[in-house]
Amino acid sequence: MKRIFTILALVVISQMSTVQTVFSQKLDTSGLFTYPLLSKNERKLDDFAPKNWEVTDTISGDLNKDGIDDAVLILRYQDSIEINEGFRYPRILVIAFKIGDHYELKLQHNTLIEFERLAGSGNTGDFDGDTFDGIRIEKGVLILNFKWDIRGAGSLLRYVVRYQSNDFYLIGATSTSGYHASESTYDVNYSTGRYTYDATDDERGFGGTYSELHKKGKLPGNALKKLNEIKEPGNWNLPGMNF
């Protein structure tokens, strides 16, 4: 069964080079892209978007438990940036607290929800390079969703973020993956330092057997991470995943 889940991971990673037609192409002749430094305070949420940027999504909810709705924004750059063998699409995750008659910037994350598409890969799968799948606020915590989906293999990733100690921390993560008749779910609670892992592999329809794997345990050390420490979804190994 472990071989099946290894295959799933390799399939998903290989498809991350899939390319689709880009909607806008702006040559970055310097080879670099400089993100804007956003204003610290604005009366209106739309005013956080600098020139050549636009607000594409806004949600509200009380994140700092003061009884007043705060705001989470997605800012998108109006063009794509040419990179080696493809294009990059800059987006910024913004969190702003409502303070009196204005909003105060509390977090600007430049890399977590941007994405790339590579040219000439020849792939025709469903994966289009953009893994970000939306945000919401539930019971005072921010939830960020990501997804991969291609050719019978898929993976969903959910991050749970809480404002505490004057910063935003990843307090939970859930990763669910599937490949044909196999499925696994890895759930981590960074606040308690515990994890669970459940997997099924049903190959009976392919001449094989059915098997299950269930594990739970304690994470090593202090695994609590600030949201700004995570540069992109899944680019660091979740503790406890290597069974």
DSSP state for residue 34 in the 8-state scheme: P
Average pLDDT of the segment spanning 172-178: 91
Q: How far is Cα 28 from Cα 82, in angstroms, rounded to an integer?
A: 6
Q: Is the pLDDT of residue 145 over 50?
A: yes
pLDDT of residue 119: 65
Cβ-proximal residues to 62 (8 Å cutoff; 6+ apart), any chain:
68, 69, 70, 137, 140
- Domains of the chain, by residue range, sit at 1-18+127-243, 23-120
For the entire predicted model, the pTM comes to 0.81
DSSP state for residue 47 in the 8-state scheme: G
Q: Which two tokens stand for residue 231?
A: 């540069």
Q: What is the pLDDT of residues 11-54, one digit of tens each?
A: 333 333 322 223 344 544 445 689 999 999 999 999 999 999 99
Helix (H) or strand (E) holding 187: strand 182-189
Cβ-proximal residues to 64 (8 Å cutoff; 6+ apart), any chain:
70, 97, 163
Q: How far is Cα 89 from Cα 116, in angstroms, rounded to an integer?
A: 6
Q: Is the pLDDT of residue 2 over 70?
A: no
Q: How far is Cα 94 from Cα 168, in angstroms, rounded to an integer?
A: 12
Amino acid at 82: E
pLDDT of residue 31: 54
Q: How far is Cα 91 from Cα 54, in angstroms, rounded to an integer?
A: 10
Q: How far is Cα 214 from Cα 197, in angstroms, rounded to an integer?
A: 6
Average pLDDT of the segment spanning 200-210: 78
Q: How far is Cα 158 from Cα 171, in angstroms, rounded to an integer?
A: 11
pLDDT of residue 152: 65
**Cα–Cα distance list, 83 to 31, 42, 57, 112 (Å):** 7, 33, 26, 18
The answer to whether 161 touches 171, Cβ cutoff 8 Å, is yes
DSSP state for residue 40 in the 8-state scheme: S
